[in-house]
């Protein structure tokens, strides 16, 4: 009877707990964020928890290398290149100024060592060498960088080089930096590099020390990239994880490295103090069999795959509402995996997540032939 009531109605609703405001317990003041532009984003959900001039177009210095590294990691994952491949520095790569590892034209290093130099020491020459190896030239790699930015919806961004040296028109925004940082974080191998404090290349002859000092001082820090130039000021995209919450704190244009790191720490502290993640639940009612009209079976078993997480104010797990909706008059044939309804997770009227109720098996339509075959099998088995 319970299943029939679900099928007969347009909507069945299960509410657990009471609604609460979807906001953090406290807000950051302008004085605490010592930079002209900043964004705090939760990486798994993409939810922005704090923003200050998020779409203001600014130079970002070596934060540019987040996109460079993203394309390199994609090439690795696709099998186009390997960590053991040898990269030979061109005259162009060796000519880079600013932060570098003093590559000489013709000098060869593995992709692995070039990645270390790019991530840990923010080496401009190593970044260009990797770009040329992946795409054949920095120009082609640059085209791919801008193409990827467009695909990610980075409307504020135009790349003019792959390492972040000051160049007219080379601009992005705090929001766009968070977006590309989030995408890079999907490639877990990158953390093998971003969490390095000290390492070596050239058989131990060249020491690399991480430009991200939070690696030594901030609990849960995982990366990601720093940058400093005259036009950009002091910048950072800082990533950290605690208790399943993955945060990205972007700071652009800070006056100095002290303000850069303190502001990133403040943003991360704010996120961890006020937010948590919850795993979606599957209410038992969602797994109730659903009646099927004109089917070889009178009902179909259901299944639900609830993955991912939901970002909520701390301590509000039990106050999430689960709304179950199932369409009426389900008629055969029903295919295995067919969407029969959905579960919507709600907090204070805001939809946190939706996931589908699926048919666990197929239910064929009743036909004269199918009924005859069923009767024949029953007779034979007697």
Active site residues: 62, 65, 122
For residue 35, the tally of other CB atoms under 10 A from its CB is 25
The CA-based dihedral angle spanning residues 78, 94, 201, 160, taken in that order and rounded to the nearest 10 degrees:
-50
According to DSSP, the β-strands at 339-347 and 321-326 are antiparallel
DSSP state string for 131-192: HHHHHSSHHHHHHHHHHHHHHTT-TT-B-S-SS----TT-BB-HHHHHHHHHHHHTSGGGHH
SS3 273: helix
φ/ψ of 18, rounded to 5, equals -115, 155
Residue owning tokens 């060869």: 108
Go through the chain and tell me how many residues it has: 382
- Structure tokens that stand for 154 in this block: 């980075």
Cβ neighbors of 297 (< 8 A, separation 6 or more) are 363
> 26: which 2 tokens?
């406290």
Q: How far apart are CA 249 and CA 238, in angstroms?
A: 5
DSSP at 365: B
Give the Cβ contact number of residue 154 at 10 Å.
22
Distance between CA atoms of residues 323 and 326, nearest Å:
10
- The vertex-260 CA angle with 258 and 262, nearest 5°, equals 65
């Amino acid at each position: 009877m319970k299943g029939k009531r679900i099928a007969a109605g347009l909507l069945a609703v299960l509410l657990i707990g009471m609604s609460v405001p979807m906001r953090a317990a406290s807000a950051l003041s302008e004085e605490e964020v010592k930079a002209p532009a900043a964004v705090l984003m939760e990486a798994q959900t993409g939810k922005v928890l704090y923003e200050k001039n998020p779409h203001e177009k600014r130079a970002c210095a070596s934060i540019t290398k987040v996109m460079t590294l993203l394309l390199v990691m994609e090439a690795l994952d696709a099998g186009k290149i390997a960590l053991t491949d040898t990269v030979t520095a061109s005259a162009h790569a060796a000519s880079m100024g600013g932060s570098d590892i003093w590559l000489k034209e013709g000098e060869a290093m593995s992709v692995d060592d070039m990645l270390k130099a790019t991530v840990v020491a923010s080496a401009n020459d190593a970044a260009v060498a990797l770009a040329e190896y992946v795409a054949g030239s920095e120009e082609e790699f640059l085209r791919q960088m801008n193409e990827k930015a467009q695909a990610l919806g980075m409307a504020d961004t135009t790349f003019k080089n792959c390492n972040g040296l000051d160049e007219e028109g080379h601009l992005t925004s705090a929001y766009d930096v968070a977006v590309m940082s989030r995408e890079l974080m999907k490639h877990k191998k990158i953390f093998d590099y971003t969490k390095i404090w000290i390492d070596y290349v050239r058989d131990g002859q060249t020491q690399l020390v991480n430009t991200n000092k939070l690696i030594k001082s901030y609990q849960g820090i995982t990366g990601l990239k720093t940058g400093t130039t005259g036009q950009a000021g002091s910048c950072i995209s800082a990533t950290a994880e605690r208790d399943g919450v993955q945060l990205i704190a972007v700071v652009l244009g800070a006056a100095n490295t002290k303000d850069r790191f303190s502001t990133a720490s403040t943003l991360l502290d704010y996120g961890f103090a006020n937010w948590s993640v919850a795993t979606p639940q599957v209410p038992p009612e969602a797994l109730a069999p659903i009646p099927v009209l004109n089917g070889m079976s009178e009902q179909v078993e259901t299944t639900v795959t609830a993955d991912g997480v939901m970002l909520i104010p701390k301590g509000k797990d039990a106050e999430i509402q689960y709304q179950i909706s199932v369409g009426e008059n389900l008629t055969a044939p029903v295919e295995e995996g067919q969407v029969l309804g959905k579960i919507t997770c709600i907090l204070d009227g805001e939809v946190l997540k939706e996931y589908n109720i699926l048919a666990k098996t197929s239910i064929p339509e009743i036909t004269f032939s199918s009924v005859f075959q069923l009767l024949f099998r029953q007779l034979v088995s007697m």
